[in-house]
Amino acid sequence: MKQLPIVLTIAGSDSGGGAGIQADLKTFAALGVHGASVITCVTAQNPKHVMRVHPCPPAMVQGQIEAIFDELPPAAIKTGMLYSAGIIRAIVASLKKHQKRAPLIVDPVMISTSGKPLLKNSAINVLKRELLPLAALVTPNLDEAARLTGKTLRSVEDMRQAARDIHDEFGCAALVKGGHLRGASEAADIFFDGKTELLLTAPFVKNVRTHGTGCTYSAGIAAYLALGQPLPTAISNAKQYVTQAIAQHYRVTGHDVLEHFPK
């Protein structure tokens, strides 16, 4: 009988189905792993706006994690929207209880595509000081990397330095995503783990407005890690996967949506 590796996503629910838990689970299904989920927040959102956020009590987040580890020990874990210091601390406490932790991918979700804050200011230092030291990889976009480093990123060289600064300060590998870099001719990301540096590029897909690409990218990395790939290979394959998902997007009532099952 076929056995699938388990990947756990710890993130918020997107009622519009384009990002968050929903995007993660679609990614896991597409890449051939079993997706388990811990919901940190329920959001009222659609492709244009995040209108309301209802965080789960930290004890409930912790309970969900314990339920998964009891019967479905994951081969990889990713986090997305965490929202509050209390939720982050509940996650940290749960993960520290398990000596043989799976690799943790932290997507430091701070703000929605529409501009809604998804991580309280009071939680940023907790994420930096308590969660990132447990991570194998953090995957900030340009704005998130600026919040983590205190520096504005305007070029690929700035991204290279940011990846090194993040690694030096928090001890985890960094993938700094440059998809919104002004004036760039292609979507460039920089990976650095203390030894290996990679520049990953893909052509821009013009005139497409999707959300959930960051969720999908980090979920893809976690899935490929669970399938046994080393981190640089997992990142490269996830980059190809999310590029395909954008290029083969479909339309729903006038909105562009990622194709998580590209042909």
Active-site residues, by number, are 177, 210, 212-215
- In sign, the C-alpha dihedral spanning 235, 241, 243, 249 is negative
Residues in the chain: 263
* AA identity, residue 221: I
232 CB burial (10 A radius; 0-12, 13-18, 19+): middle
Alpha-carbon span 225 to 210, nearest angstrom? 25
Rounded to the nearest 10°, the torsion over CA 196, 236, 177, 4 is -110
104: left (phi over 0), alpha (psi -120 to 50) or beta: beta
Neighbours of 124 (CB within 10 A): 17
- CA–CA gap between residue 251 and residue 248 (Å, rounded): 10
Please tell me the distance from the alpha carbon of residue 38 to that of residue 56, in angstroms, as a whole number.
10
H helix or E strand, kind and range, residue 247: helix 231-247
